[in-house]
Structure 1
């Protein structure tokens, strides 16, 4: 490929006819591998690089009383001990020892006060910032924020969801009125929730290789023909199903022709690093999240659904809370701490916000089954990394953990805070499916200025 053609391709100045012509001849497909990695590397260290977000989603609602807002000496506190951290005055559970060493980067928000205690409805509210309201189809956080942060120069999708909870339904993970263009690429869908049963194929993007015996020239020619057919069909059958299919097809083709797809090859990382993350679904998903952010993906969601496949919502500890939380922390702690350190090593921590949350917390009162039940009234989320001032806790609950006594934070407040940390105006609007503009965050939302950097 000539230098002038390379420059025009980088800028996106090729006409559709030129693009198809070069693809059919194999020109672009054979030469993209040289300059795409250079572009990705340059973009990851550019001073004007946009921010990214990694959402660590705790399906079922993690117990704040046994992780980041412990109540030692109170009957509600349970058997776990708290330990000092790298941040003065900040104390975590004894089962989060690796995170304790990274506490200077973390901000536990201990005063979440929300209203919804049902898994599905609470998941939607926490991920969209809005309760379900009639015909309005609200977009999930990943769709909203990746739309604002996406770069046209990146060949990977702007929103990737890794091993999402299959039981949440479509609402909490939907692009809503933003449409299929902003839907996530789902990786590891259907992966069994058994953390110790992992192999690299679980996190691969399927069906991106050409059929056996089809070389690059023939594959590109076929894709060019398919593109013509898709365009003709769309002209006579417009609508959401057609747009959804075409969006998925175009995204897949772009990924097929890009070396950026190598982000999903975890075998390129050292065994030592992979061991530190944990050789399990969640740990390796966190590693994949770092690799995706490094290559320009602005929003990645990683779910910790469970560890033994016995629960639809892993943190939903109505019974046997303490054994389950201890085991879950054994997966969460090394993966999350290594992610923070790995982002820092790759000069990505200052531009990457890591969000830890689920749909609600757990009751401070321990039930007769040694469990904790759903509790939206006073619970904890955690922000870490870029855009926040770590090493401090925000908000306070009562001595028994039963209520918020300082600085209550709503789901809308949290969304607004995340937006500010990412350099996004939460009052920006998108046109909804009912024909009226909807702001990213509720107009009454108040970002937590005290923790923003």
Structure 2
């Protein structure tokens, strides 16, 4: 039996060079053994497909029907479980995937649907619901950690900014945002590395450590003095932001954001674009104990020329996600990391005059994978034309409560809200999908 070692101790050893290369013969065995530790911290990665993906072309094809489009079904490593033709690499991970084909939700507007899927609640009044990352990071995170509990990679917030905030949980659980995203396809090339950096983490070269420490202490004293006379949310938020920045600056784990230390082949496998490199960054953050990471892939609002756009975007998704799964498995982290892939809704089975598909929340798919999930299956069934759910109808609270169970989170737990009443982690109407829990 290998000796137990905490994730923090392991990270410090690794960053100090004590462990040597990750390809050492014993490394994989060590990681797998450590992953079996029941006290091991769990992580969640949300792959957010902004714009509403045409899931009928990816996860629930309708071959032979006029609504089906040009893509062929692709067999996976699980007999009978099939994906869309553009998902070649993910087809090798069928045993890890649980496709929820019966999603049926209530919002067809980008902004309102984004809010509903990302918080589990319909946007209403003064109640400020937290985004999923803040909500789950609160349950999974370690307040003493040097790393942030929630990192949001390339989010596109313009559709509904409130869907990306920590809401009533306050600034303590707000995300660290890197690489602000866009509604269109992700950037690629040399600009990606710069986008994924946390700016100004390094101490200026002409400032000694002792000088920096003195300045941090002075700033802390000034903030405490200022805040004692002004106990409001704005001051508290600014104070916490400084504290988090200083803690991250001093953390050895901050080097996770420097992707140039990775091998060129690894980076090529993920894809040299913002989403692919974001998935690589997500793996590095999971290794360093960050409990919730989300990576955005925009461009799915395919009202025109749907099939060419889906082919391109699904290819980007395929490389990034498949490489992420392979890396997590090799490092013994897949069993403790749960992945959810979804957008704000699906798209119409009927193909419009512009060879596109329009907004469609009535019947679409989301996908779960990794830790706590029983993969190798599809749950739910849509009609032959893809317009209705015939079996396993699933709403947002059902999906999120299933994710919570996979992560070991009590979805019935209440949090205090900004309007003075308790609010459950997931809405009380939730019916978790027990057959998907591993």
- How does the TM-score come out when normalised to structure 1? 0.88
Deviation at 1:271, TM superposition (A): 1.3
Q: Quote the residue 1:264 is aligned against.
A: 257
Answering whether residue 232 of structure 2 is matched by residue 247 of structure 1, we say no
Question: Hey, what's the Cα distance between the residues in 2 that align with 1:365 and 1:373?
Answer: 8
Deviation at 1:321, TM superposition (A): 0.2
Decide whether the 8 Å contact of 1:65 with 1:71 is kept in 2: yes
Runs of 4+ in 1 over 3 A off after TM superposition: 32-47, 190-195
Give SS of 2:114's match. Answer: helix
Question: Hey, what's the Cα distance between the residues in 2 that align with 1:96 and 1:44?
Answer: 31
Answering whether residue 407 of structure 2 is matched by residue 414 of structure 1, we say no
Q: Quote the residue 1:187 is aligned against.
A: 178
| Structure 1: unaligned runs, 5 residues or longer | 1-9, 12-31, 306-313
Deviation at 1:44, TM superposition (A): 6.9
- In the alignment, which of 365, 368, 372 is matched to residue 383 of structure 1? 368
Question: Hey, what's the Cα distance between the residues in 1 that align with 2:14 and 2:90?
Answer: 38
Question: Hey, what's the Cα distance between the residues in 2 that align with 1:320 and 1:343?
Answer: 35
Could you tell which deviates more after superposition, 242-251 or 165-174? 165-174
Give SS of 1:110's match. Answer: strand
- In the alignment, which of 417, 420, 423 is matched to residue 438 of structure 1? 423
Deviation at 1:196, TM superposition (A): 2.7
Answering whether residue 118 of structure 2 is matched by residue 127 of structure 1, we say yes
- In the alignment, which of 200, 205, 213 is matched to residue 206 of structure 2? 213
Question: Hey, what's the Cα distance between the residues in 2 that align with 1:392 and 1:37?
Answer: 42
Could you tell which deviates more after superposition, 360-369 or 258-267? 258-267
Q: Quote the residue 2:23 is aligned against.
A: none
Question: Hey, what's the Cα distance between the residues in 2 that align with 1:38 and 1:71?
Answer: 52
Deviation at 1:64, TM superposition (A): 1.2
Deviation at 1:154, TM superposition (A): 2.3
Deviation at 1:175, TM superposition (A): 0.3
Question: Hey, what's the Cα distance between the residues in 1 that align with 2:125 and 2:254?
Answer: 39
Cα shift readout 1:283-325 (whole Å, capped 9, x = no counterpart)? 00000000001100000000001xxxxxxxx100001000100
Could you tell which deviates more after superposition, 121-130 or 211-220? 211-220
1:70-81 to 2 correspondences below 5 Å: 70-81=61-72
Q: Quote the residue 1:425 is aligned against.
A: 410
1:17-416 to 2 correspondences below 5 Å: 45=35, 46-189=37-180, 193-197=185-189, 198-305=191-298, 314-416=299-401
Distance 1:125 1:194, change over 3 A: closer
Question: Hey, what's the Cα distance between the residues in 1 that align with 2:206 and 2:15?
Answer: 26
* Count of aligned positions: 416
Question: Hey, what's the Cα distance between the residues in 1 that align with 2:379 and 2:89?
Answer: 21
Cα shift readout 1:87-114 (whole Å, capped 9, x = no counterpart)? 1110111110101111110011000010
Deviation at 1:334, TM superposition (A): 1.0
Question: Hey, what's the Cα distance between the residues in 2 that align with 1:196 and 1:271?
Answer: 15
Q: CA RMSD in A?
A: 2.1
Deviation at 1:39, TM superposition (A): 12
Decide whether the 8 Å contact of 2:185 with 2:313 is kept in 1: no
Deviation at 1:34, TM superposition (A): 6.5
Decide whether the 8 Å contact of 1:36 with 1:258 is kept in 2: no
Deviation at 1:210, TM superposition (A): 2.0
Give SS of 1:405's match. Answer: strand
Deviation at 1:380, TM superposition (A): 0.2
Decide whether the 8 Å contact of 2:112 with 2:160 is kept in 1: no
Deviation at 1:207, TM superposition (A): 1.4
Cα shift readout 1:407-434 (whole Å, capped 9, x = no counterpart)? 1000011110110000001001100000
| Structure 2: unaligned runs, 5 residues or longer | 1-7, 20-29
Decide whether the 8 Å contact of 2:48 with 2:296 is kept in 1: yes
